[in-house]
Structure 1
Amino acid sequence: MEFYFPTEFGEQLAFVSAVTTTLIGLVVMFAPGLTLRFCGLQPLEGKVEGFAAVRSYGGLLFGFAASALLLAQPMVYLAFGAALAMSVFGRILSVMSDGGSSLRGILLLVVAAALASLPIAYVFGLT
């Protein structure tokens, strides 16, 4: 089995989005404390449920992005992009209703929007 790298520019952008999300998922899964500090959060003293939740979220990111890389099908990229777009929607809701308009929150919103837009643009032929 050989490594597949796309030849179309649009699919290459979707591929880069999936690779980036895979790496983010690995960091989130294997460094939950660092992730929580970066997001301005901290678990309660003596409670490990926060770390478990963050690790499972990292596993979800890693698994979905890795599936998109391995399958390399437009509908998988669409599902991947739609899932990331819903996380962008959640961040927008947070900015509007929770007052989450900090510099860190806006930066994460922009990164998530960029990662979501690349596979969606590829599927709809915009790149």
Structure 2
Amino acid sequence: MEFEFPTEFGEQLAFGAAAFTAFAGFVIMFAPGLAMRVFGLAPRGERREGFSEVRSVGGFYLGLGLGAVVLAQPLIYTAFGAAFAMAAFARIVSILSDKGSTYINYLLLVVQAIIAALPLLYVFGFFQT
């Protein structure tokens, strides 16, 4: 199996979104305390289950991003974009339902929307030359 960097601009954007997700997942997985501070979260008392949950999400992002980078297929990019589109939708629900109207939530909503849009726009042909 050969690793090739995409040559089309649209695929490069989708690839970049996947690579960013893999990098973020790596950081979240191996530095959960730092990630929790950035997201405004903190473990409660002596209970450390929050770290497991954050590491798990980081591993998911790492696996999803690496899968899209390595396989680089339209269906993989579709699944990748759809997953982030649903994550962005869930964040909107949280902002509206959970009194989660904070700057970090709005910033992460924009990031998730961009990460969702880049592969989906590529797959649906918006970056054709």
Normalised to the residue count of structure 2, the TM-score between the two structures is: 0.94
Residue identity in the other structure for 2:89: F
Aligned positions, number: 127
Deviations 1:23-58 (A, max 9, x none): 110111011111111111111122221100100110
Q: Distance in 1 between matches of 2:71 and 2:41?
A: 35
Q: Distance in 2 between matches of 1:88 and 1:41?
A: 19
Match of 2:86 in 1: 86
Tell whether 2:121 aligns with 1:121: yes
Pairing of 1:38-117 with structure 2 (within 5 A): 38-117=38-117
- The answer to whether the 8 Å contact 2:3/2:70 transfers is no
Q: Distance in 2 between matches of 1:59 and 1:70?
A: 16
Q: Distance in 1 between matches of 2:21 and 2:101?
A: 23
Q: Distance in 2 between matches of 1:94 and 1:17?
A: 23
Q: Distance in 2 between matches of 1:86 and 1:111?
A: 13
Residue identity in the other structure for 1:113: A
Moved over 2 A (4+): none
Residue identity in the other structure for 1:39: F
Gaps of 5+ in 1: none
Measured after TM superposition, the shift of residue 98 of structure 1 is 1.3
Gaps of 5+ in 2: none
Residue identity in the other structure for 1:102: T
Normalised to the residue count of structure 1, the TM-score between the two structures is: 0.96
Deviations 1:77-102 (A, max 9, x none): 00011001110001100111112121
Residue identity in the other structure for 2:125: G
Measured after TM superposition, the shift of residue 72 of structure 1 is 0.6
RMSD over aligned CA atoms reads: 1.0
Over the matched positions of the two proteins, sequence identity in percent amounts to 56
